[in-house]
Amino acid sequence: MQFYERLDSLVRWLLIGLLGLVPFIFVPIAWIGVIQSKVMLIAVVLFFAALFWTLARLLEGSAWIPWSGVLAAATLIPLAYTISICINGFEQLSIIGSGTDADTLAGALIAFSILVLYATVFAGRSGTIVSALRAFIAGTIVLMALEVVHFALPSASLGGVFASLSANPFGTWNQLAMFAGLMLFSSVALLYSAIARGPWRYALYACALFSTALLVVANFFDVWASVSVALVVFLLIRAYKVGDAFSESFWRAHMVPIAAAIIALFFLVFGTFVSNVLPEQIRPANVDVRPSWVGTLSVGKQSLASPLALLFGSGPNTFTREWGLHKPVQVNQTPFWNTDFNAGVASIPTSFITSGLAGVIAWILLILVALFSIARLWLSQSHSVSDALSVAAIYLLALHALSVPGIVLGIITSIVLGLLIASVTPQFFPLRECVLGRSVRGSVQMIGVLLFGALAVLAAGGTVLVLATDIQVNRGILMYNATRDAARASAMITRAISIYPTDRAHRAAVELGLLQLRDLGNANNPDQEAARARLQSTLEQTIQHGLSAVSIDGGAYQNWLGLAALYAELAGANVEGAYDNARAAYERALAENPTSPLPLLNLARLELLQNKPDQALIQLDKAVQLKPDFAAAYYLASQAYAAQNDLQNAMRAAAKAVENAQADAQAWYNFGLIAYTANEYQQAATALEQALTRQEKFANAMYILGLSYYELKRPEDATKMFEALLQLDPDQASVKQVLENLRSGRPPITPATATSTPVQPR
């Protein structure tokens, strides 16, 4: 066996292994996400597979390529993304994103590379295709078994992978349902192929049964509809090819797909009723939150207003930015007002916004060419494996047009298309040899092979680096939450940045730097000179992290909010120029997300820190115009009015805060405190009682409520309240003095206790 043949064999096993592992692979560690672990596996396999395949082609001196229009059309998507990036600027966000973003150039290149490799490596190898699909079925059964264990033992979290009922080893709950729909159809359709020989037939039955059960629990209408259509189409194909569709023998031979189609149609109509009567322990929250068609089209209309933007979009993976700039203001009245959506109603409409007509035309051409090829295939004498793969490919492409499958299902779409092409090569698609380097044409073909290998390796390698950075950031954040050791967590973030600097890593470094600055400011260090030097060094590093974050992605309002928070902290310490820098950063955040009230709220906080309540109220008025039920804005407005001694307006604002945040004990306490200050003791008592209803051991609320009871001529209730407060902390000298005064018939507050401070409210 030649060395290049050994390399080809290794590539085949890598790709088969990927199909077997990708359904269920995860790392049972809290700081490695499920999607991150899957994309890491895909990227590593692609890195070595592309490298070995390219090396094998150079050693062999030729490359055998299935001559399919699908492969040609698929090249247009990464090409459109490349042009869009050249037009809109070479941003990290568009080139590689977080590593798990499908709408990036790296994501498009990975999907295209996977398609090419599966199509070429498996071309004409029916036995290898059977092995690959069996590995896929086996991996799916492992995934379903893990889900059964999860529902049976919900307390077993496996490192946080099963942190909630809807958490799973595949992705989001909606993506798992889409995958279950794919596997329900595929398992049924492959029963009529070589895959089902021997004990594998029972494996297909098991896979179909588990997938159906999962779909019943998930109950997504669009998935049931897609599965129903796929099964009906498959039956029509079988009827056309087998003939005599109305004979008893046809119905008997196709009982399983017919039954599956009937079940899918039943749950399409009655799925919600069945889901509502399921036991609560197997009824996860059925949530699929994304912008509507109207919201997506509204963003697209404003984002693509200029001719250049219409042609090439706003840049790959920039939907979050465009959503912040142009989202309908009515969204602020929903629970998702502060959600930064990274995709619209579906993947292809999102691509229209981010890569313009060039991107959406590339997608449409790919789908049309695929449908044309599949239609020709159905009219030919194709076998059952290709029939199943063809309908599965349509199912997956339809999901991209109607939903947001995510990067993992996007890669599976490429795999299915690649296996479909390979399964009908050379019978349907001719297999052509590209001789490398023996002529001008051969030199061009060699450059093409080298370019393909280089782009695949670069996309995969870059993705691995970005994922390693993001995982290290997750680790640092979780470590800080567990230990409160800001210095150690900051060191982890620094290591993450050294792997691959991302704006998220720098933003985390800013947050940890702020915590370190506070710790250093509160520390009692006898070596003042060393403490000052360390404080100055930490400050400079933190500022640099903030500037680096906005330098990497100046269009992300979160980066400007992080930088502004740092400058606001310095402004509170009266550092020269910090206030102006903080204000400028907040205004830039507002410019990048003008429909969000958050930058206005934070700007108002900054103004209050500078003793400018009038300016704060101006910003808060703008915030409530964007979001009339913004409780935090009313809360802060009450503080601003109180700072001006305008207690009546302060009470009105505090009342609006509790009206829009009924469950917030702090809001009720704030209302009660202002009412007490305004001598409205009955309103104060009522509000403070509400605060204690929501938070029983709320010390400051108990303190002011006791004073309010006294003013309402209820000394016994006041005494009981302070006695209860003393039980929370028997060492409270001020509370002891108040109780002594009450028991002696004196007012609770005397000059000796007036300046005492009760314990903190939370």
Tell me: the pLDDT tens digits for 670-704?
999 999 999 999 999 999 999 999 999 899 999 99
The answer to whether the CB of 80 falls within 8 A of the CB of 355 is yes
**Hey, what are 28's tokens?**
């049972």
Average pLDDT over residues 252-279: 90
pLDDT digits (tens, 9 = 90+) for 107-117: 999 999 999 99
DSSP run (H or E) holding 65: strand 62-66
**Hey, what are 4's tokens?**
């290049």
CA distance 506 to 496: 9
The answer to whether the CB of 328 falls within 8 A of the CB of 275 is no
Query: Of the candidates 408, 442, 459, which is a domain's last residue?
Result: 459
Q: Which residues contact 261 (CB under 8 A, 6 or more apart)?
A: 228, 231, 232, 235
pLDDT digits (tens, 9 = 90+) for 81-121: 999 999 999 999 999 999 999 999 999 999 999 999 999 99
713 inside domain? yes
DSSP run (H or E) holding 649: helix 647-660
pLDDT band at 200 (very low <50, low <70, confident <90, very high): very high
pLDDT digits (tens, 9 = 90+) for 15-71: 999 999 999 999 999 899 999 999 999 999 999 999 999 999 999 999 999 999 999
The pLDDT assigned to 382 comes to 66
Phi, psi at 66, each rounded to 5°: -65, 125
**Hey, what are 100's tokens?**
């798990």
- Say how many domains are in the chain: 2
Report how far apart, in Å, the C-alpha atoms of 198 and of each of 134, 140, 542 are: 12, 18, 63
Q: Which residues pair with 682 in a beta bridge?
A: none
Q: DSSP of 485-546, one letter per residue?
A: -HHHHHHHHHHHHHH---HHHHHHHHHHHHHHHHHHHH---S-HHHHHHHHHHHHHHHHHHH
Average pLDDT over residues 704-721: 93
540 sits in the region (left: phi over 0; alpha: psi -120 to 50; else beta) called alpha
DSSP 278: S
Cα-based angle 173, 176, 180 (whole degrees, multiple of 5): 140
Phi, psi at 65, each rounded to 5°: -120, 130
Q: DSSP of 609-636, one letter per residue?
A: HTT-HHHHHHHHHHHHHH-TT-HHHHHH
Average pLDDT over residues 126-154: 94
pLDDT digits (tens, 9 = 90+) for 739-754: 888 888 888 886 555 4
Whether 242 shows a pLDDT value over 50: the answer reads yes
The pLDDT assigned to 753 comes to 53
128 inside domain? yes
Percent of the chain scored above 70 by pLDDT?
A: 97
DSSP run (H or E) holding 150: helix 126-152
- Residues making up the chain, counted from first to last: 762
pLDDT digits (tens, 9 = 90+) for 369-428: 999 999 999 988 767 899 999 999 999 999 999 999 999 999 999 999 999 999 999 989
565 inside domain? no
The pLDDT assigned to 751 comes to 57
DSSP run (H or E) holding 406: helix 406-423
Q: Which of 49-63, 566-580, 646-660 has the lowest average pLDDT? A: 566-580
Whether 526 shows a pLDDT value over 80: the answer reads no
Whether 655 shows a pLDDT value over 60: the answer reads yes
Find, among 162, 165, 159, the residue nearest to 31 by Cα. Answer: 159
DSSP run (H or E) holding 105: helix 105-121
What one-letter code names the amino acid at 421?
A: I
Query: Of the candidates 459, 475, 500, which is a domain's last residue?
Result: 459
CA distance 393 to 371: 9
- Please give the distance of CA 277 from its chain centroid, rounded to a whole number: 30
Structural domain span for residue 139: 3-169+288-459
Query: Of the candidates 459, 485, 505, which is a domain's last residue?
Result: 459
The pLDDT assigned to 529 comes to 79
Phi, psi at 60, each rounded to 5°: -75, -30
CA distance 71 to 63: 15
Average pLDDT over residues 329-338: 91
Q: Which residues pair with 432 in a beta bridge?
A: 65
CA distance 623 to 590: 11
Whether 196 shows a pLDDT value over 70: the answer reads yes
432 inside domain? yes
666 inside domain? yes
Whether 324 shows a pLDDT value over 90: the answer reads yes
The pLDDT assigned to 521 comes to 74
CATH number of the structural domain spanning residue 731: 1.25.40.10
741 inside domain? yes
412 inside domain? yes
The answer to whether the CB of 100 falls within 8 A of the CB of 41 is no
Over 10-54, what HEC string results?
HHHHHHHHHHHHCCCCCCCCCCCCHHHHHHHHHHHHHHHHHHHHH
Please compute, for residue 401, the number of CA atoms within 13 A of its CA located in the half-sphere on the CB side: 14
What one-letter code names the amino acid at 361?
A: I
* Angle subtended by helix axes 613-626 and 631-643, to nearest 10: 160
- The C-alpha torsion from 436 through 437 and 438 to 440, rounded to 10°, is 110
- This prediction's pTM: 0.92
Phi, psi at 110, each rounded to 5°: -65, -45
**Hey, what are 629's tokens?**
């039920």
Residue, of 12 and 537, whose pLDDT is higher? 12
The answer to whether the CB of 119 falls within 8 A of the CB of 373 is no
696 inside domain? yes
